[in-house]
Structure 1
Amino acid sequence: NIFRLDGETHFSEDNTLNFGDVLKAWTPFILLIVCIIIWTQPWFKAIFDKDGFLSYTSISLQFSNLTSGILSPSITGIGEAKPLSLGLGIDLINGKSVAQAGTAILLAAFLTIAILRIKAEDAAECFWATLKEMAIPCLTIGLVVAFAFISKNSGMSTTLGLAFAHTGDAFAFFSPIIGWIGVFLTGSDTSANLLFGTLQQVSAQKLGVSEALFLAANSVGGVVGKMISPQSIAIACAAVGLVGKESDLFKFTLKYSIAFIILIGIWT
């Protein structure tokens, strides 16, 4: 059964799809799943390790002297400062980067182009359109990651974490709220985890609580904050043709978001 509005005329033709057509349509997803499964296997990652079969493919230029003069205090603020080792460098070809899931997705895309015999100009046009669409999000994530490293290495996240630890057991309630606020500001759960992950970790260590609990609470709170994120609301309205109705959608989702975050805080 196909949903149609009242009075809508049926214009589509009744075409019977054979197994080959269905398999062809599913080919990109099948290739993607297979590539990611292979890429996540320990034996595959071991190929690019120091003693691995393809270890020689790693080409890296390190600039350790750029960070050797930076001192990093202990995470609790107690103890001697130690030189900060960031391993700053340029990985021209690196096993860790090759073994990332993103490389598997890229390989699946190339395999799809080859198997489905997509024209080079069509593939290039699609790639360029995607690149233009993702330009701003990529720039945003890059800036967020840069700020996250500055916040972590400068001690800002540690200072905030130690300050929040003074709330004691009450911080368990506020932990998901921090992630909630982070996603509201950045529009991304990943960005919120980058920004506040160290803060949650420091607070957990100071309070003697599992780090995984507060990090998970930060992520879960971020998921709830997604429904009130201005970026998400703008995308949702544009997708369904409700441009200009963002404020109405925000008012509608706000009460549910607040109710969920309070429930998650109590549960934590």
Structure 2
Amino acid sequence: MANTAPVAFGALAVPITTLATVTGLPLHDLAAMVGRQTPVLALFVPMALVGIIGGWRGVRETLPATIACGVTFAVAQYAVANFFSAPLTDIVASLLSALAVVVAVRRRSKEENTDSRAEVLRAYAPYAIIIAVFALAQVPAIKDALTSVTVTFNWPGLHLATVGGKPSTLPVFKFDWLDAAGSLLIIAGLVTVPVIRIRPGAALRTYGGTYRQLATAIVTVMAVLALAYVMNASGQTTTLGTWMANAGGLFALLSPVLGWLGVAVTGSDTSSNSLFGALQVTAAQHAGLSPTLMAAANSSGGVLGKMISPQNLAIAAGAVGMAGREGDLFRRVFLWSLILLAVMCLLVFLQSTPVLAWMVV
């Protein structure tokens, strides 16, 4: 349940960067648009979590903390996504909301903190370093230096044309050696090693273990991106998008549902954006809607499919010692998924009309 509002900007905003890649829309515009949708979910998720566990009594008893958590996360997510850096959106929002909860709870609790200031600073150091590295990467001079080593080339033997007969940009491959979010994260990790006093050998073993842990996910994402590439290059995405555009303005109501279904099936907002991102843009163009709004709606709707995805339910159940009881978890969250999806569909529809058109990038 908690893994909803943050999903679109998770893993350093990989779902958003993937969406920008497959749609050709500006990364900043997509991040800003999603940052004007998912914060609405963040407002209610803390209270919903407490409600599932403690009922209405629990909600009443923790109201100050849940309000502080939801409002802080929502405001921070909106602000960072729109005015700072998409990859840092969830990191900043999470840290600030955690701080807000600590402050809210401390005012009602007389318990003393048993952790020393040095321990607290050491625990937060990795996050502070990540924020600092990504912030420095936005400085024009540094950004230019990072992008100077970017390699762009036409993929050998691949020649594609658009519907209009012009050369397609799909065969153009761009490799960001240093400017990519993953590269910056590795740099932040190298800086973190001496700060938190980890031996190089232990750091390398941890790095290798992380790759082994993510091996299946890496292959899955690569395969889904390859499928999306074939669908886009063969015209399948354009055909489906043109057909769905027959819904006209009502397509805005269906747009988040596509993302929701995509994540529910694949378990990944990145995969859903890869499969349906270009379709959303095509349908929006033929229906007279904002392509940025519809593409963002795919990602924002997708976050609500995360909680009912079989893959994620299996991981969650295994992590808390409930293996084999995925059905119990599904029954507890399915209704919430539908309720929040309805809220997102209504929000996107209103954003496609003059009522909330001022929110569209």
Instruction: Tell me if TM exceeds 0.5.
Output: yes
Is the CA contact (8 Å cut-off) linking 1:184 and 1:225 kept in structure 2?
Answer: yes
Matched, 1:81 2:162: no
Counterpart residue identity of residue 153, structure 1: A
Aligned residues: CA RMSD:
2.2
Please identify which structure carries the higher helix content.
2
**Other-structure match for 2:211:** 131
Structure 1 unaligned blocks of 5 or more: 1-13, 50-54, 74-79
**Other-structure match for 1:40:** 138
The structure 1 residue matched to 2:198, chosen from 101, 118, 122, is: 118
CA distance in 1, matches of 2:282, 2:137: 32
Task: Percent identity, please.
Answer: 36
CA distance in 2, matches of 1:236, 1:160: 34
The C-alpha deviation readout for 1:232-264, integer Å capped at 9, x for no partner, is 111211122111110121122122212222332
**Other-structure match for 2:52:** none
CA distance in 2, matches of 1:21, 1:161: 53
Matched, 1:238 2:318: yes
SS across alignment from 2:198: coil
| Displacement after TM superposition at 1:193 (Å) | 1.1
| Displacement after TM superposition at 1:84 (Å) | 2.0
Counterpart residue identity of residue 185, structure 2: I
Distance change (3 Å), C-alpha of 1:252 and 1:31: same
Counterpart residue identity of residue 26, structure 1: Y
Is the CA contact (8 Å cut-off) linking 1:67 and 1:86 kept in structure 2?
Answer: no
**Other-structure match for 1:154:** 234
Distance change (3 Å), C-alpha of 1:148 and 1:41: farther
Alignment size in residue pairs: 237
The C-alpha deviation readout for 1:85-106, integer Å capped at 9, x for no partner, is 3354585xxxx33112211110
Counterpart residue identity of residue 166, structure 2: K
CA distance in 1, matches of 2:296, 2:326: 29
The 5 A counterparts of 1:172-251 are 172-251=252-331
CA distance in 2, matches of 1:210, 1:265: 15
The C-alpha deviation readout for 1:49-108, integer Å capped at 9, x for no partner, is 5xxxxx3x45x473455233x2221xxxxxx321223354585xxxx3311221111011
The structure 1 residue matched to 2:129, chosen from 31, 34, 40, is: 31
CA distance in 1, matches of 2:244, 2:174: 36
| Displacement after TM superposition at 1:266 (Å) | 3.2
Distance change (3 Å), C-alpha of 1:165 and 1:239: same
Identify the structure with bigger relative contact order (alpha carbons < 8 Å, sequence gap 6+). 2
The 5 A counterparts of 1:6-85 are 16-49=114-147, 55=148, 57-58=149-150, 60=151, 62-63=153-154, 66-68=157-159, 70-73=160-163, 80-85=164-169
| Displacement after TM superposition at 1:138 (Å) | 0.7
Is the CA contact (8 Å cut-off) linking 1:31 and 1:112 kept in structure 2?
Answer: yes
Q: Which of the two has higher C-alpha Rg?
A: 1
TM value normalised by structure 1 = 0.80
| Displacement after TM superposition at 1:115 (Å) | 2.7
TM value normalised by structure 2 = 0.61
SS across alignment from 1:167: helix
Is the CA contact (8 Å cut-off) linking 2:247 and 2:287 kept in structure 1?
Answer: no
Distance change (3 Å), C-alpha of 1:101 and 1:191: same
Runs of 4+ in 1 over 6 A off after TM superposition: none
